[in-house]
């Protein structure tokens, strides 16, 4: 049969590669004398690993692997240290977090007075009239026993508009000038899917606004970040993640600017983790029109799922629940998008071959999202759509059965029990046994992932292991003990399951020949550690694509 030139060209390229098989197969680096936890069921433990061209060439015992060494190969004695696959954070906001760390006041402080002082200091360096922005404020972590209000902010900074974002990212706290700039007064009605809070006694604004009300402020805040700033943000957060053993992160709320920032950072050599970049539904039309869909890209920067948002947040207690919050009999949380909207956007993405990831925290939010996914599959069945349930926090037996049937992927918060323990009482002891339900997911062969949701949650993988294994917070309270999993399971959740969630389980997530050389060297073995001190295990080195991205 006549062969087209392009086809011939292609075969020619393959032939050229095969001319140098021995060249390709010589290890550049051999790590040996290690305690290697491979997360590969066929060969769970190994001593040595050979690396070439950013990939793993071979894994095995010291003798066999050292035997592969040619004179030029570097050898590194691990001194018996433990090696795990690099961690995959399957739901995080690295690009936005990097920018925040670059420009905003870090309000992760323990009193309102401390926050006021930090804002005052930033205001003094900010030209009059320009916005002072803060992030990582957490009303449950200040000693005052009450949330920040408009008077606190007016007292601290009277002549700059101030907006402080809650750690959870769904609520904001503003001063009077900020409300003025946003065109909001005491009588402004709540926007659809949002809330502007008032003092119940006086009816005046109390400073807090939630969910879609944020976008009113977004329009008033000048977006002054340059393309370089975005790249710098990725560079900054790259270093922070690498230090903790993370080699991949799923950017859960990506925009075209984020996608560009990842590419720019990669080009400048500053991208130290692999980014699976979700695209917010607002950009889906132009993405589809350009012929883009999930999976486009390469192992460093790849297009992820389309992101939808169904309900509110766990840390700010706005997740939509079927039964009210403890002590707040009329509060069931918030639905952000309607089922119709979720379906309309979901259908477009589903038909165009996109994976879909929908933020769904409460049992009502998860039920709604599953109904949409079930309908999409019923109307237009697709092979292996890997629907994702971002967070998927509060579950019940019916939801679990439907998740299993759909083959959907939950990405529950990994560090919340440990780090946000003080918020758990709002959900109650009984409900906690059905939240961040890794035990239930794994028992039902549902491939749940490790996910920080940073900034709302901490991203440290060793903290995730401790939180998931002990279900114990920093004060020693145990929350939802029925959902405890083992250290071995938690490691798999944080590695191979994360790879599956981005269709990359054949590329990474375990240490085996042919996969990417992404790994972390730990100071102690998590499998031999007392579970209550897992978080203290030091990360000594992190490698992504055969290159050390962090060395202690
Ligand atoms: Zn998120």
Distance (Å) from CA 538 to ligand 1 centroid = 27
pLDDT by position in tens, the chain (length 552): 333 444 434 444 444 444 444 455 789 999 999 999 999 999 999 999 999 999 999 999 999 999 999 888 999 999 999 999 999 999 999 999 999 998 899 999 999 999 999 999 999 999 988 999 999 999 988 999 999 999 999 999 999 999 999 987 789 999 999 999 999 999 999 999 899 999 999 999 999 999 899 999 999 998 778 999 999 999 999 999 999 999 999 999 999 999 999 999 999 999 999 999 999 999 999 999 999 999 999 999 999 999 999 998 887 788 899 998 888 888 898 888 999 999 999 999 999 999 999 999 999 999 999 999 999 999 999 999 999 999 999 999 999 999 999 999 999 999 999 999 988 888 888 899 999 999 999 999 999 999 999 998 999 999 999 999 999 999 999 999 999 999 999 999 999 999 999 999 999 999 999 999 999 999 999 999 999 999 999 999 999 999 999 999
Distance (Å) from CA 170 to ligand 1 centroid = 10
Distance (Å) from CA 171 to ligand 1 centroid = 13
Distance (Å) from CA 451 to ligand 1 centroid = 9
Tokens (6 digits) for 45: 């433990």
Q: What is the pTM of this model?
A: 0.87
| Long-range residue pairs from 534-537, CB within 8 A, at least 24 positions apart, any chain | 534/462, 534/463, 534/465, 534/466, 534/469, 534/470, 534/487, 535/418, 535/460, 535/462, 535/463, 535/465, 535/466, 536/462, 537/462
In the sheet with 105-106, reading across from the earlier edge strand, the strands are: 105-106, 132-137, 162-166, 171-174, 205-211, 194-198
Distance (Å) from CA 461 to ligand 1 centroid = 17
Distance (Å) from CA 144 to ligand 1 centroid = 28
Distance (Å) from CA 236 to ligand 1 centroid = 19
Distance (Å) from CA 249 to ligand 1 centroid = 12
Distance (Å) from CA 453 to ligand 1 centroid = 5
- Using alpha carbons, list the distances in angstroms from residue 52 to 30, 63, 400, 421: 9, 18, 42, 44
Distance (Å) from CA 93 to ligand 1 centroid = 6
Which residues are CB-neighbours of 28 under 8 A, at least 6 positions away?
51, 52, 53, 72, 73, 74, 546
pLDDT at 459: 97
Distance (Å) from CA 359 to ligand 1 centroid = 7
Distance (Å) from CA 467 to ligand 1 centroid = 19
CA nearest neighbour of 314 among 438, 461, 456, 181: 456
Which residues have CB atoms below 5 A from the ion given as ligand 1? 252, 453
The pair phi, psi for residue 360, each rounded to 5°, is -145, 110
Distance (Å) from CA 274 to ligand 1 centroid = 17
Distance (Å) from CA 400 to ligand 1 centroid = 21
Catalogue the E-assigned strands of 269-320. 274-280, 301-309
Distance (Å) from CA 88 to ligand 1 centroid = 15
Distance (Å) from CA 313 to ligand 1 centroid = 9
Distance (Å) from CA 106 to ligand 1 centroid = 18
pLDDT at 4: 41
Distance (Å) from CA 414 to ligand 1 centroid = 12
Distance (Å) from CA 457 to ligand 1 centroid = 9
In angstroms, how far is CA 402 from the centroid of its own chain?
Answer: 24
What is the C-alpha separation between 537 and 515, in angstroms, rounded?
A: 26
Distance (Å) from CA 312 to ligand 1 centroid = 11
pLDDT at 470: 98
Under a CB-based contact definition with an 8 Å cutoff, are residues 552 and 542 in contact? no
Distance (Å) from CA 401 to ligand 1 centroid = 24
Q: Could you give the residue ranges of the DSSP H alpha helices within 26-127?
A: 62-66, 94-103, 112-124
pLDDT at 222: 85
pLDDT at 24: 55
Distance (Å) from CA 9 to ligand 1 centroid = 44
pLDDT at 317: 80
Distance (Å) from CA 114 to ligand 1 centroid = 27
Distance (Å) from CA 328 to ligand 1 centroid = 25
Strand partners, 47: none
What is the C-alpha separation between 3 and 7, in angstroms, rounded?
A: 7
């Amino acid at each position: 049969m006549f062969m087209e030139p392009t086809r011939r060209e292609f075969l020619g390229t393959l032939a050229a590669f095969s001319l140098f098989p021995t060249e390709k197969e010589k290890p550049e680096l051999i790590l040996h004398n290690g305690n290697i936890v491979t997360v590969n069921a066929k060969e769970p433990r190994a001593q040595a690993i050979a690396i070439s061209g950013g990939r793993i060439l071979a894994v095995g015992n010291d003798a066999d692997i050292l035997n592969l060494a040619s004179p030029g190969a570097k050898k590194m004695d691990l001194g018996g240290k433990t090696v795990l696959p690099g961690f995959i954070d399957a739901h995080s906001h690295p690009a936005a977090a990097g920018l925040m760390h670059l420009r905003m006041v870090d309000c992760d402080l323990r009193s309102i007075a401390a926050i006021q002082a930090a804002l005052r200091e930033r205001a003094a360096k900010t030209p009059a009239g320009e916005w002072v922005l803060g992030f990582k404020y957490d009303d449950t972590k200040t000693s005052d026993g009450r949330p920040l209000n408009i008077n606190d902010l007016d007292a601290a900074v009277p002549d700059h508009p101030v907006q402080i974002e809650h750690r959870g990212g769904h609520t904001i706290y503003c001063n009077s000038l900020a409300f003025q700039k946003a065109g909001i007064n005491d009588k402004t009605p709540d926007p659809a899917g949002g809330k502007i809070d008032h003092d119940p006694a006086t009816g005046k604004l109390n400073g807090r606004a939630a969910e879609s009300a944020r976008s009113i402020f977004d329009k008033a805040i000048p977006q002054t970040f340059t393309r370089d700033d975005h790249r710098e943000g990725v560079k900054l957060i790259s270093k922070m993640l690498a230090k903790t053993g993370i080699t991949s992160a799923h950017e859960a709320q990506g925009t075209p600017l984020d996608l560009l920032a990842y590419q720019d950072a990669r080009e400048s050599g500053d991208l130290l983790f692999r980014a699976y970049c979700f695209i917010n539904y607002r950009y889906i039309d132009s993405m589809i029109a350009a012929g883009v869909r999930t999976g486009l890209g390469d192992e460093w920067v790849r297009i992820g799922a389309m992101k939808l948002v169904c309900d509110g947040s766990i840390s700010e207690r706005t997740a939509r629940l079927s039964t009210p919050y403890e002590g707040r009999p009329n509060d069931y949380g918030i639905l952000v998008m309607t089922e119709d909207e979720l379906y309309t956007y979901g259908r477009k993405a589903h038909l165009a071959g996109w994976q879909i990831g929908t933020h769904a925290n409460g049992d009502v939010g998860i039920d709604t999202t599953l109904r949409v996914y079930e309908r999409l599959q019923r109307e237009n069945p697709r092979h292996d759509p890997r629907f994702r349930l971002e967070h998927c926090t509060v579950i019940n037996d019916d939801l679990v059965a439907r998740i299993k049937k759909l083959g959907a992927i939950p990405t529950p918060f990994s560090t919340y029990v440990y780090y946000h323990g003080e918020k758990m009482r709002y959900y109650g002891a009984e409900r906690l046994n059905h939240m961040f339900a890794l035990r239930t997911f794994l028992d039902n062969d549902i491939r749940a992932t490790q996910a920080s949701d940073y900034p709302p949650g901490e991203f440290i993988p060793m903290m995730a292991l401790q939180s998931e294994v002990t279900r114990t917070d920093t004060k020693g309270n145990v929350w939802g003990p029925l959902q405890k999993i083992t250290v071995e399971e938690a490691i798999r959740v944080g590695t191979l399951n994360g790879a599956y969630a981005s269709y990359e389980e054949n590329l990474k997530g375990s240490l085996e020949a042919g996969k990417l050389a992404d790994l972390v060297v730990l100071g102690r073995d998590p499998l031999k550690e007392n579970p209550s001190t897992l978080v203290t295990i030091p990360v000594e080195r992190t490698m992504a694509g055969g290159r050390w991205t962090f060395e202690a």
